[in-house]
Chain A
Amino acid sequence: EHPWSIAEKRRIRDCQQADIKYLSGWKQWKRTSSKSLKKVLSEVKELSSYLELWRHDIHSIEGKFGTGIQSYFSFLRFLVLLTFVIFILMFSFLTLPSIIAKYGIFNSSFAESPPKNTELHCTVYTPSGNQGLVYFYTYLKDLLSGTGFLEMTSLFYGYYTIDAAWFSILRYNLPLAYLLATFAYLALSLLWIIKRSVEGFKQNLVHHEDQFQSYCNKVFAGWDFCITDPNAARLKHRSLQYELQTDLEEERLKRKIADRTMKEKLRIYSLRIFINIIVIAVLSGCFYSIYRATVFSQENSNDVGNKNFQANLFVQYLPSVVITLANFIAPQIFSFLITFEDYSPAFEIRLTLMRCVFVRLANIGVLLFSLWSQISHCTTDKCKACGYNYELYPCWESEVGREMYKLMIFDFIIILAVTLFVDFPRKLLVTHCSCKPVQWCGLQEFGISDNVLEIIYGQTICWIGTFFSPLLPAIATIKYFIIFYIKKISLIHTRKPAARPIRASSSNFFFLVVLLIGLVLAFVPLGISIAHIPSSKACGPFRSFNTSWAVVPATVLGFPTGLQQVLHAIASEAFAVPFFMVICLIMVYLIALAGAHKRVVEQLREQLALESRDKLFLIRKITEAQR
C-alpha cells in the first residue's frame, strides 16, 4: 500500500491490467487468485469483528470518554471470556461426568469405595441439610453463605465423592481429571494473559529505552481522533495542556533534585524510611484484624444455636466485611502519606498503585492462612491421625470453597451498593443543590486504577476458589457481565472524566502485569492445599490418597515401565540441573546481544548527525562556488 490518492491508484491499476495480457496463463491465474483470496480474508475479518462481544458499547465509550477508559472495559470483556472458558472446562470435565454417573444416564455407574488405611472417625460426614419445616429466610441465608441446601450440590467440592465413573466400558478417573483440570485452567489463564501482554511488553521495552521520546509521542500522537463530542474535545484539550505542563514541570523538578545538597538528601531519606515503617505498620494492622475476624467467624458460626438470622449472617460475612474495609481505607492512607515523601509525580502514582495492589492481594493470602491454621489446629491424638481438625471440618475443602463463594458474593453486593447508594444520590445532590460545599465536592471521576484493582481482586478469588468450588467461574462470569452494564451506566450518568489522562498503551500492559501477579499469587495457596495439606477423608475425589497431589504418582505407577523410567529421569536432578544451566546461558547470551544492538544504534545515530553536517558543508561550498 502506498500513500497515493485514488486517481493515481486507478491509473496504476489500469496499467497493471494492460500488462496482464503479456503474462503467461499461470501467472495470470496466480494473480487473480491471490486478489480474490485477499478479498475473502478481509471479508471474513470484518464478519468476525461483528461477533465480538459488546463491540458497539465499547466503541461508543471510546468516542465519549477516550481510550484510557475504553481500555478498562476491554479488559473487563477479556475477563468475561476467560472465566467463561474456565467454566466450560471445569463443567465438561468434572460436573458433567459426575452428574451423568450419579443419575445413571447412558448406562453409567460410579464407584465410591471407602478409603482404606484410615481411621473410621475421619470418614464421618453428615452435611447439615435442612430437615422438616424451615423458615423462608433460612433459604436466603443458605444462598448467601453457601450452607444448608447448597452444601451438597455440585457447587462445592464435597459433591465429587466419586473414585471412578464407568461409561459402558470406559473408565473415567475422576480424581485425576479433577487435578488435571485445575492445572489446565491455571496454565490456560497464564498462557492467554502472556499472549495478550506480549505486544504491550514490546512497546514498553522500547519505551523504556527511549525515555526521551515522551514529548514527541505526546505531541504527534496525542490527539484522540476517535472523539466525536465537542464537550469531550474540550476536556481532551485541557487534559493535553495539563499533561504537557506537568511533564515540563517534572523536568524542571528533576533538575532541582539533581542539585540537592547532602544535608537535604539525608533529611529526605530518613523521612522516607519513617513513612515506610508507618506503611508496614498499617499493613500489619490490616493483616492482624483479618486474622482475628476469620478466627472469630469460624468459631462462632459453628455452633448452630438459636442465634437470630441477621447476627448469624453478619458473623458469617465478617471476614469479607473486614477485607473490604481494609481495601477501602488502606489506599486512602497511602495516598495521604505519599505527599510527604517528595517523589516526582509519576513515581508517586506508581508507588501508591503498587502498595494498593499488595494490600489487596495479601489480604486474600492472610484470610487463607488463618483458615488453614484453624483447619490444621490439632490437639487430640485422634485428630492427628486424620491430619486435620475432623470434628469441625469433616470436609475442609468445601469450607474453603464456601469462604471464597462468600467473598465473591460480597464483592458483587458492594459494587452494586456503592453504585446505587453513593453515585446516584451524589449526582442528584450535585445537580439540584447549588450550595458551595456540595459543588466543591462535585462529581467523582472514573478512577481507572481503582476499578481495575477491584476486578483483579475478584478474579484472584475466582482462580483460588475454582479448585474448591468448580462452578465458581460461572458465578464470576455472570458477575462480570452485570458489572459491565452497571459501570457503563454509572460512567455515562454520574461521572466526570478524569483530569489526568492515562495512556491506553501503557495501561493495557499495566493491567495485564497486575493480573499476572494475581495469578502467580493464586498459585501459592493452591500449591499448598494440593501438595501439603492432607485431603479430607470424608468427602471429595481424593479420599483414598494422602494429599490431593498423590493421585499423580499413583497414576504414573500404572504406566508401562518404559514410560515410567522416562518420567523418573525427567524429574530427577541429573536432568534438572543441566537444563537450568543451559537456560541461564541462553539468557546471558540474549542480554549481551541486546546490549550490542543498542551500541550499534547509538553509533548509527552519531553517523547520521555527521552526515547532515557534511551535507550543510557541501551546500555552503556550492553556494560559494556559484557566486
Chain B
Amino acid sequence: AYKRFSELLPKEERENACSVRVPKSQILKLPELRANPFQHRICHVFSTSDNGDDSMSFEDFLDMLSVFSDSAILEVKSHYAFRIFDFDDDGILDRKDLEKLVNCLTGQGEDSQLSNAEMEQLIQNILEESDIDKDGTINLSEFQLVVSRSPDFA
C-alpha cells in the first residue's frame, strides 16, 4: 500500500511520503477510483484535511483501503457508505440526496438520466421500503437495517 501511495507523489517528495498530503487530482488517477461515479464523495469523506481541499495523507489512504477491503465488517462499510451517499453532509438522506445518488448511478449524460416522473416513482418506492419511522428521510440506523438485508452490498 505504501508503494501505491508513493507512486502518486511527484519524485521530490517521495521520501517524506508519510507526512505529505496528496492533492485530490492525483488520487483520482488511481484505476479503482477512475471509473467510480462516487469518486469525489469518497475523497471528501476520507480526507481529514483542514482546509477543505480534499487532499489525503497516507493515513487517510490506509483508512480508505481498509474500509473497502474484503475483510472489513458490514457495520464499518455501511457507516462509510452512508457518509458517502449523504451529499449535503447533514447526517440524513433526504429526497435531494437520493435524487443525486440515482443520477450518479445512471450516468452523467443528458439522455442517461431518468425522467422526472420515473425519479418520483423511484424515490417514493425507496422511501416506502426503507423509511421505517415515516419521516421522509433515511437516517443511519434505517440505512444500516436496509443494507444488512441486502445480499449484494459486500
**A interface with B by C-beta (< 8 Å):** 1-3, 5-7, 42, 67, 203, 206-207, 210, 212-213, 215-217, 219-223, 225, 227-230, 232-234, 237-238, 240-241, 244-245, 248, 251, 503-506, 605, 608-609, 611-613, 615-616
A219 in contact with B101 given A237-B37, A605-B132, A611-B133 (CB within 8 Å): yes
Overall SS of chain A's interface:
helix
A1, B152: Cβ atoms under 8 Å? Answer: no
Residues on A with beta carbons closer than 8 Å to the beta carbon of B80: 3
Residues on B with beta carbons closer than 8 Å to the beta carbon of A245: 114, 118
Scoring A207, A219, A223, A609 by chain B CB atoms within 10 A of each residue's CB, the highest score goes to A219
Q: Check: B15 CB closer than 8 A to any chain A CB.
A: no
Whole-angstrom distance between the Cβ of A276 and the nearest chain B Cβ: 33
A216 in contact with B105 given A6-B63, A608-B132, A609-B133 (CB within 8 Å): no
B132, A609: Cβ atoms under 8 Å? Answer: yes
B63, A505: Cβ atoms under 8 Å? Answer: no
Whole-angstrom distance between the Cβ of A434 and the nearest chain B Cβ: 25
Residues on A with beta carbons closer than 8 Å to the beta carbon of B130: 213, 216
Interface bits B31-69 vs A (CB < 8 Å: 1, else 0): 110111110000000001000000000011011000110
Task: Kindly state the separation between the CA atoms of A346 and B122 in the bound complex, as whole angstroms.
Answer: 18
B146, A213: Cβ atoms under 8 Å? Answer: yes
B122, A225: Cβ atoms under 8 Å? Answer: no
Overall SS of chain B's interface:
helix
B106, A240: Cβ atoms under 8 Å? Answer: yes
B105, A228: Cβ atoms under 8 Å? Answer: no
Residues on A with beta carbons closer than 8 Å to the beta carbon of B125: 215, 251
Q: Check: B19 CB closer than 8 A to any chain A CB.
A: no
A219, B126: Cβ atoms under 8 Å? Answer: yes
Residues on B with beta carbons closer than 8 Å to the beta carbon of A42: 71
- Give the contacting residue for B36; candidates A210, A217, A225; CB below 8 A: A225
Task: Kindly state the separation between the CA atoms of A504 and B62 in the bound complex, as whole angstroms.
Answer: 28
A230, B34: Cβ atoms under 8 Å? Answer: yes
- Give the contacting residue for A219; candidates B72, B102, B133, B149; CB below 8 A: B102
Task: Kindly state the separation between the CA atoms of A2 and B67 in the bound complex, as whole angstroms.
Answer: 10
B59, A1: Cβ atoms under 8 Å? Answer: no
11 intermolecular pairs with C-beta atoms under 8 Å apart: A1-B76, A210-B149, A223-B105, A228-B32, A229-B35, A230-B34, A233-B35, A241-B107, A241-B113, A244-B105, A504-B152
Residues on A with beta carbons closer than 8 Å to the beta carbon of B62: 6
A612, B135: Cβ atoms under 8 Å? Answer: yes
Q: Check: B3 CB closer than 8 A to any chain A CB.
A: no
* Total contacting residues, chain B, CB less than 8 A: 52
B35, A213: Cβ atoms under 8 Å? Answer: no
Task: Kindly state the separation between the CA atoms of A468 and B143 in the bound complex, as whole angstroms.
Answer: 56
Task: Kindly state the separation between the CA atoms of A229 and B33 in the bound complex, as whole angstroms.
Answer: 10
Residues on B with beta carbons closer than 8 Å to the beta carbon of A506: 151
Residues on B with beta carbons closer than 8 Å to the beta carbon of A3: 67, 75-76, 79-80
A223 in contact with B37 given A228-B31, A609-B134 (CB within 8 Å): yes
Residues on A with beta carbons closer than 8 Å to the beta carbon of B147: 220-221
Q: Check: B87 CB closer than 8 A to any chain A CB.
A: no
Q: Which of B67-96 contact A (CB under 8 A)?
A: 67-68, 71-73, 75-76, 79-81, 85
Whole-angstrom distance between the Cβ of A253 and the nearest chain B Cβ: 13
B152, A212: Cβ atoms under 8 Å? Answer: no
- Given contact pairs A5-B63, A42-B71, a sample of 18 additional A-B residue pairs in the complex whose CB atoms are under 8 Å apart: A1-B73, A5-B48, A5-B59, A203-B151, A212-B128, A213-B129, A213-B130, A217-B150, A220-B153, A225-B68, A228-B32, A228-B34, A232-B35, A237-B105, A237-B107, A241-B106, A248-B122, A612-B133
Q: Check: B121 CB closer than 8 A to any chain A CB.
A: yes
Whole-angstrom distance between the Cβ of B43 and the nearest chain A Cβ: 14
- Give the contacting residue for A227; candidates B35, B60, B113, B126; CB below 8 A: B35
CB closest residue in chain A, given B135: A612
- Give the contacting residue for B152; candidates A6, A215, A221, A605; CB below 8 A: A221
Q: Which of B109-154 contact A (CB under 8 A)?
A: 112-114, 118, 121-122, 125-126, 128-130, 132-135, 143, 146-147, 149-153
A207 in contact with B35 given A237-B112, A244-B106, A245-B114 (CB within 8 Å): no
B150, A213: Cβ atoms under 8 Å? Answer: yes
A223, B38: Cβ atoms under 8 Å? Answer: yes
B85, A220: Cβ atoms under 8 Å? Answer: yes
Ordered nearest first, which 3 A-B pairs have the shortest CB separation? A612-B133, A237-B107, A233-B35
Task: Kindly state the separation between the CA atoms of A207 and B133 in the bound complex, as whole angstroms.
Answer: 22
